[in-house]
Chain A
Amino acid sequence: MSLYLLTVAVLLLIAPLLLGVIKALKMWLLFKRPLSLLQGYRDVAKLLHKENVVSEEASLITRVAPFLILSPLLIVLFFLPPAVQGAWYVSFVDAFTLTGLMALSTFFLMLLGLDSASSFGGIGASREAFIAALAEPAMVLTIFAVSMMAGDLGVGQAGVNLASRFPEKHMASYLFAAISFFILLIAENGRIPVDNPETHLELTMVHEAMILDIGGVWLAIVETAAAVKFVIFASLFASLFLPFGYGLAWPLALALFVGKLFGVALAVALVEVNTAKLRLFKVPNLLGIAIVFAFLSLITFYVLGA
């Protein structure tokens, strides 16, 4: 029990740090002076002191939505596969539940964008709906395929099974699922080929456009939700596709797990530096590739058995 809670607490604590690491790595790779790794925490601390200003047009939704954006993600955090052996985990939660909870969070984010009645919010919400509608089927398929390879539909149990018995016979379909999941990780978190988290240019904004009109504590909550979402995806990637080092003594295993999360952050930073942002109408091509690989993963597993 204590290990379970400790893992969740660690994940929650390093969430802003991970996004900060990506940003610092990118700046370092572009020969800029990197910003402090603690900037994420400082931003949250700064926002907590500010007052909440709301648009005149805003309804009750704006006041409620930030909490409803964060809370499904916090629930997902408790359903993740365990990072260390002997920790508790929830074994029965499957791909549909995880995807559904994250879609619920996205749904309230879109409502928040629409509710401020500014044109930017509408743009952002429609784009987010466009991307999410393509990303979610791929996500269900991918997690489903991996759970089939692991021999259990529950994601938590699948992570444990993968750690104890690696699917060497199904390497081809496993690789396809990994490719698909990495594309989804980038798309769902609004990283560069899909959305640029650092600009406020109206042509490129997706996530930023929706949260342009809120401030103060609510903005802090929404930013935390974005960080938590990245941690969820990174730790799903780490426990489903990098399932080694699970059986070590728990401090070592936890440290290794956190190291894997930073490895995922490094990979995302490298992708971000090396690619240009896609035009919005080219994003379906990228997500189409993710869907193809998710399909292929299931097909090669079922039909070819490879």
Chain B
Amino acid sequence: MVDLLIGIFLATLITALFTARLYRLLMWYSLNSLSLGLLALTIGRAQHDGAMIISGLITLLLKAGAIPWILKRLSQRFGLVRQITPNIRIQYAIMLVPAILVFTFYLAEPISHMVEGNANYVAISISSLFLALLLMMEHNNIAPKIVGFLSMENALFLLGTTATGGMPMLVELGIFFDLLMAIVVINLLMRREEMENSGEAGA
């Protein structure tokens, strides 16, 4: 079950890399967070870890539901560009994605003995970190960059849940508050971009 959910996590992230439409991208991000939340619930139930179940529920509510919805609302309000073509051409992306996966495996090998449980999950989490970074890099527009940032946070959460068997509750809650703060900052950022755009239109 854990393997399946991690597979869905990675698959949605990779599909998001190739997406050229904003709302589709938000949908993939939502599915990505959904699999992450379910993963946290599964691991939490297996380890009888109440804190992890709570953070899984918060993930489901916040990242799979609220944040994509808020981002969609914001992008509608500010009239953001919805056609987001990746800068990296698909031929190169096809070669990059598997290369990242293989590279991170060797990157994670030295620390794999420190991890309790399955060491491969560390490699997958780090590779999804890099993939999220790639998502941020390959777009010029602000909205997909935000989604890339949020996916990066998802990858860190995955690393936290699978490698350590549950971070302290306080750390996780702190991350969630950071995320909410980030959304507020992003709102301001979008407002600024809108002002610049309207300024250009006026001039």
Known: A175-B8, A300-B101, A303-B105. A288 touches B91 (CB 8 A): yes
Flag whether B120 is at the interface (Cβ < 8 A).
yes
Interface of A: prevailing SS: helix
> Does A304 lie within 8 Å of B3, measured CB to CB?
no
Q: A175 contacts B11, CB within 8 Å?
A: yes
Complex Cα spacing A116 to B86, Å: 41
The answer to whether B101 and A172 touch across the interface, beta carbons within 8 angstroms, is no
Contact A175 B4 (CB under 8 A): yes
Q: Which of A256-302 contact B (CB under 8 A)?
A: 284-285, 288-289, 291-293, 295-296, 299-300
Q: A176 at the A/B interface (Cβ < 8 Å)?
A: yes
Q: Judge whether A292 and B94 touch: CB under 8 Å.
A: yes
Let me know if A176 and B91 touch, CB within 8 A: no
Q: When chains A and B are docked, how far (Å) is the Cα of A176 from the Cα of B8?
A: 8
Q: Chain A 221-264 against B: per-residue CB contact (8 Å), 1 yes, 0 no? A: 00000000000000000000000000000000000000000000
**Interface residues in B1-55 (C-beta closer than 8 Å to A):** 1, 3-4, 6-8, 10-11, 14-15, 18
Docked Cα-Cα span, A179 to B12, in Å, equals 11
Residues of A within 8 A of B58 (CB): none
**When the two chains form their complex, are residues A169 and B14 in contact, meaning their CB atoms are under 8 A apart?**
no
Residues of chain B within 8 A (CB-CB) of A12 are none
The smallest beta-carbon distance between B8 and chain A, in angstroms, is 7
Q: How far is the CB of B100 from chain A (nearest CB, A)?
A: 10
Interface residue? B90 (CB, 8 A): yes
Query: Which residue in chain A gives the minimum CB-CB distance to B10?
Result: A172
Q: Mark B83-127, 1 if CB is under 8 A from A, else 0.
A: 000000011011001100110010000000000001011011000
- Contact (Cβ within 8 A) A288 B18: yes
Q: Are A173 and B90 interface neighbours, CB within 8 A? A: no
Q: From residue B7, how far is it (CB to closest CB) to chain A in Å?
A: 3
Q: In whole angstroms, how far apart are the Cα atoms of A289 and B124 in the complex?
A: 19
Bound together, the chains give a CA A285 to CA B98 distance in angstroms of 16
Q: Do residues B97 and A306 form an inter-chain contact, with CB atoms below 8 A? A: no
**Within 8 Å of chain B (Cβ to Cβ): is A171?**
yes
Q: In the complex, are the beta carbons of B11 and A174 less than 8 A apart? A: no
Q: Does A151 contact B (CB under 8 A)?
A: no
Closest to A300 in B: B101
Bound complex: CA A288 to CA B162 (Å): 30
**Is there contact, CB below 8 Å, between B11 and A303?**
no
* Besides A171-B7, A292-B97, A299-B98, 7 other A-B contacts (C-beta < 8 A): A172-B4, A175-B4, A288-B91, A292-B93, A300-B101, A304-B101, A306-B3
Q: Which 6 pairs from chain A and chain B are nearest by CB?
A: A172-B7, A171-B3, A175-B7, A171-B4, A304-B120, A295-B98
Q: List 29 A-B contacts (CB under 8 A).
A: A169-B3, A171-B3, A172-B3, A172-B7, A172-B10, A173-B7, A175-B4, A175-B11, A176-B10, A176-B11, A284-B90, A285-B90, A288-B94, A292-B93, A292-B97, A293-B11, A293-B14, A295-B94, A296-B14, A299-B101, A300-B101, A300-B124, A303-B102, A303-B105, A304-B101, A304-B105, A304-B124, A305-B120, A306-B118
